[in-house]
Structure 1
């Protein structure tokens, strides 16, 4: 079966503003995100890609643009099933403000029961994303062979949900995973089981340093200052 490369979009203006973007239109890459996207072709230079699939959100399309420019003939395919989670009424709100919402405790500790007001459930988010991966995996394998590699440019919570499924983790454990902006995660699917080859690989170690070194100045997942070791909903701004 084929190998899937998951790329989380580069850092966005919403990430640095600590806003939960969701599907809010007009959320672009910030200066750092543009740099991250520009570096992506070099990071993947040794990898042949059969197909490039993208979320419809602007920040994902912008992240993929330099890679497509470097590879004439590789046309992107948009798949709504790997779009950002529909956070509904939470979209566009400050993460600090959302931390006091009773639903946040459910999102952190029992996400399989979380339904965003006016949006979708996290369970439905995972189901549609995994369905997309399974469909594309079968299609790429059939058309390009079992050694083919394909790429999906998507969002932090989508990456985590797909990885949780590949590892056989219950969705309630997916907040223990993390994917930095423009990080690369790789999963190889076989007839009997998937193998996680990379998780959140950025080629840098800055995100492991103290919080004072982080560009956004806020806590990362599990760091002191994040309420009860909470994960960053939407993925966060990442390392400096």
Structure 2
């Protein structure tokens, strides 16, 4: 299995508008978001990406555009990494949604939350995890277990993926913070996922690349007893 860089799209015009954009058309990166997207080229310069997989939302395509241009990669669009379908909540102001009875369910018991006319968060997690596992298997089969690939998706989708990787119930996923343009990294193995980074907005990411095997290393799917020793 390979290593996956989970990238939330850079800041969009919707992120600062106080509106739940969801799958609304015409949501683009704002000026800050465009700078964040350009900055990804340097942030990931030491990471030999083998594949880039993106949500079909425009803001995700715009986020990875400078990176894939610099690497000569063609992004793979994956519908199952799309933003949550918030149904009739789409386009509404967050301040108005806070008073809805469903708001408390989303906050306290998200596994039971189903958006009116949209989808449930449990279904979002199921589709996203299945998509990541399928693409991870594809990349590992083609490039080997030390391969690294990137997916660009959305806050709630990535939080659901991280909850799964951490072995947490979906009802705990609201404890995870995923900022625009932040990176979280998961290394999948046959035994368990290893979560290497969460909500990382720093600049240097070379440390997420799997090292060459050493004579004293534990098997790939085992945790190091006593803690990782570094390289």
TM interval, shorter chain, is 0.7 to 0.9
Q: Distance in 2 between matches of 1:32 and 1:51?
A: 25
The answer to whether structure 1 residue 18 and structure 2 residue 18 are counterparts is yes
State the TM-score, normalizing by the size of structure 2. Answer: 0.87
Shift of 1:137: 1.0
| The structure with more radius of gyration | 2
Q: Distance in 1 between matches of 2:62 and 2:96?
A: 28
Match of 2:137 in 1: 138
Match of 2:179 in 1: 180
The answer to whether structure 1 residue 29 and structure 2 residue 23 are counterparts is no
Match of 1:83 in 2: 82
Q: Distance in 1 between matches of 2:21 and 2:57?
A: 10
Shift of 1:22: 0.3
Match of 2:114 in 1: 115
Match of 2:221 in 1: none
Q: Distance in 1 between matches of 2:158 and 2:98?
A: 22
Tell me the secondary structure at the aligned position of residue 14 of structure 2: helix
Question: 4+ residue runs of structure 1 moved beyond 2 angstroms?
Answer: none
Cα deviation, 1:104-162, whole Å, max 9, x if unaligned, reads 00000000000000100000000000000110111111111000001000000011000
Cα deviation, 1:73-111, whole Å, max 9, x if unaligned, reads x11000000000000000111111101111000000000
Shift of 1:164: 0.2
Aligned length: 203
Shift of 1:69: 1.3
Match of 2:156 in 1: 157
State the TM-score, normalizing by the size of structure 1. Answer: 0.84
Tell me the secondary structure at the aligned position of residue 105 of structure 1: helix
Q: Distance in 2 between matches of 1:203 and 1:46?
A: 14
Match of 1:234 in 2: none
Cα deviation, 1:33-92, whole Å, max 9, x if unaligned, reads 0110010010000000111000000000000101011112x1100000000000000011
